[in-house]
Chains A and B, each alone.
Chain A
């Protein structure tokens, strides 16, 4: 069959990262084409190129065999491409019908104005929903009062209202209940019968096998392969997704693992942390792997008191403690290098000196006044130790590069002489040189006896740096590997494919 949409040799570069490199993709009418890959494989970039958000640097997009160029999302919409993003883009204060017809409400010209034909809009909204076998939704209701599953149905109806021929669904089941997942699958099948081409992105490989006709795998922005779903297996997909080589970027030093510094027992914080028990020992780097949304960052934030635990126990150096605020965590010798240094790590208008001392102000102060000489020494040591490239300690951190900003955040926490260092994506978005330096530093800190808990979405980083690897999924720890037994395949399998328990239920029900 002739594809409706065809992408050939698409490349896209962002500052510092080749997001897509010569990727191919096509979709036929009445087909569900699944797109899989790890975090950062380039799936989102590809969707954004198809939906007109980004323009490719090179390559060709054809619709019905004709080359096209999208300058903005509207032009893609006009060609019948609709996208349902993970975070739904509806207006909560408007009605279902208004949301469905946002931007193209049925209207008539009255003098210089356009008048919305409300009756027609409600009727047509009802029709569209009915065509999706949705009969239980009031089109006059405000979207804000709907459940997540119902909002998603509104999104799909919205796509149909523009006669979408290609529907992109980005992780559509991520936040749905099982019953909603089942209804979604029915709708997807209905649309497929109607000849809509569906690009289906999901981490849940079971869904790929249940719904998909073909599947395309991306890895690190590279096109790996496209296969009919019937001719592949879950294991094969996982190995295609993770088949990266571990380069020798991370010289992990051997380190003596000693007594536990942190222990948590059945830690819970709804909705993302659902009963976690683990230990991190002095001198040890524990890698915490998992998909985005698996609860890794939330676990870190619960330990650090940003979102305090609702139940469970935390022990620091064997002592049972309560951590309700970050200030308490800091006093207990816990440090947290956050995922987003811009909003959580730095005060960008301030100097390096002021940022480095931020977590140790009470120790630096005498009688409430800061010892400026000591503060300056501290900042100078940080610049030397971490090789921060700056003109002086007085430089405003906003003017530093991403890697150097990250080093400032790390030095802020080293100044507090932590026993436990939690690092959330410590090398995301920084250049290779700075990355190696941060890895070297982590390794040295472990040798000095600091306990390190590292969250990372990059499996090579997890494998290269960790003494022990924990895998988190849906708010729980689901696997543990020693450094020797861990491979990309078994970690990735633990992250993704053991979704089975959940999805079996769904499959059984929808089979009925």
Chain B
């Protein structure tokens, strides 16, 4: 899939200005978008019902909370880290949000608190992870794996796995659809655009790329790599908080457990979206397109009548291919002439 991107960017450096500009347009994000469209057309040719308006909106709607969580994950991965705990965290924050909503129904405080608290709790927990990673220099995979188990255990102890019902109608944010478009899609689009602009144009965004690209060089350039990593995790916490609200409000009940494999699905979306697992490169737009691509595949399989069990395998192959292409690209990128 990204093979085209790679050859495009290789010729970009070697080629003339015009060719460079042309292939600059053919960046990874454009290739991903074309892939989404191609795949959609393919499924549509097999089964025209696939492009019914309801199906398309459903598909995008389902991608949304994954995409929002993947925005945070993308920043974490670009900074050279990873966060395994997001699956548990979404489960926990969704439950917190639901419990608060039920409390609000009984009176005493307004409902919007149910939408705000998860963002703060998410930021707080991720700040703790960020602290351990940035200041104590514990590898993020270890910290977040530990946090994954802690949160998962805490959630089960708290709820005993009992589902939350009787949620107030006003709480069902994800079920609203102004102008016929479900709310989660607005969140996905707006947050993606804001985050993409912020990553590209802000000094902090640049610092995130720098720390992920070469932590030591960034530090020696006067960038505070510790503060940068803290910020990344805190932003991730807020994104996970938003994702958890979209997740909590999509059905009339909240599952109160951790959706199995959710964190891997989110990481897959980022990686398939072209975010280098080694840190330093990737875009938020890519990761959102990655989330959509995964959902096109998931929904498309139903429409062309392929067993859902294939989904895991296809996801796995996508990860392997993108990571391989990324590594090959890096290897080829280094200067090969006389030093």
Contact = CB atoms under 8 A, between A and B. Distances in A.
Interface string B184-218: 00000000000000000111101101100110111
Contact of B222 (A326, A344, A348, A401): A326
Given A361-B206, A370-B206, A399-B13, A347 B223 contact: no
29 contacts: A16-B339, A325-B224, A326-B219, A326-B220, A326-B222, A329-B222, A343-B216, A346-B214, A346-B217, A350-B213, A354-B209, A358-B218, A362-B203, A365-B203, A368-B203, A368-B204, A369-B201, A391-B13, A392-B17, A392-B20, A398-B333, A398-B334, A398-B335, A399-B335, A401-B339, A405-B335, A412-B221, A429-B339, A430-B339
A348 B213 contact: yes
A404 to B, nearest CB: 9
A327 B224 CA distance: 7
B25 to A, nearest CB: 14
B280 interface: yes
Report, nearest first, the 9 A-B pairs whose CB atoms are least far apart.
A330-B222, A402-B339, A347-B213, A365-B203, A358-B221, A327-B222, A359-B221, A347-B214, A361-B203
A326 B13 contact: no
Q: For the side of the interface on A, what is the size category?
A: 35 or more
Task: Classify the secondary structure of B's interface with A.
Answer: helix
Contact of A336 (B204, B220, B333, B338): B220
Contacts of B337: 401
Q: Which of B210, B221, B330 has the most CB of A within 10 A?
A: B221
B338 A16 contact: yes
Interface in A322-375: 325-327, 329-331, 336, 338, 343-350, 354, 358-359, 361-362, 364-365, 368-370, 372
A362 B223 CA distance: 9
A361 B333 CA distance: 26
Contacts, number: 109
Interface of B: 13, 17, 20, 201-204, 206-207, 209-210, 213-214, 216-224, 280-281, 330, 333-335, 337-339
Interface string A244-258: 000000000000000
Contacts of B214: 343, 346-348
Given A348-B334, A399-B13, 13 more contacts: A16-B338, A16-B339, A344-B216, A344-B220, A346-B214, A346-B217, A347-B209, A348-B213, A348-B333, A368-B204, A370-B206, A392-B20, A405-B335
A331 B223 CA distance: 11
Contacts of A398: 333-335
A347 B219 contact: no
Given A350-B210, A370-B202, A15 B338 contact: yes
Contacts of B13: 391, 395-396, 399
A88 B312 CA distance: 47
A391 B20 contact: yes
B221 to A, nearest CB: 4
A284 B67 CA distance: 56
A16 B339 CA distance: 7
A398 B214 CA distance: 12
Contacts of B217: 343-347, 358
A306 interface: yes
Interface string A299-310: 000001010000
B213 A396 contact: no
B335 A372 contact: no
Contacts of A405: 335
A330 to B, nearest CB: 3
A399 to B, nearest CB: 5
B210 A359 contact: no
Contacts of A343: 214, 216-217
Contacts of A370: 201-203, 206
A264 interface: no
Contacts of B207: 361
A123 interface: no
A401 B221 contact: no
A369 B220 contact: no
Given A347-B217, A370-B203, A401 B280 contact: no
Interface in A380-407: 391-392, 395-396, 398-402, 405
B222 A15 contact: no
A299 to B, nearest CB: 16
A431 B203 contact: no
A348 B331 CA distance: 12
A138 B44 CA distance: 75
A405 B204 CA distance: 24
B308 to A, nearest CB: 37
Nearest to A390: B13
Q: Which of B204, B216, B330, B339 has the most CB of A within 10 A?
A: B339
Contacts of A347: 209-210, 213-214, 217-218, 280
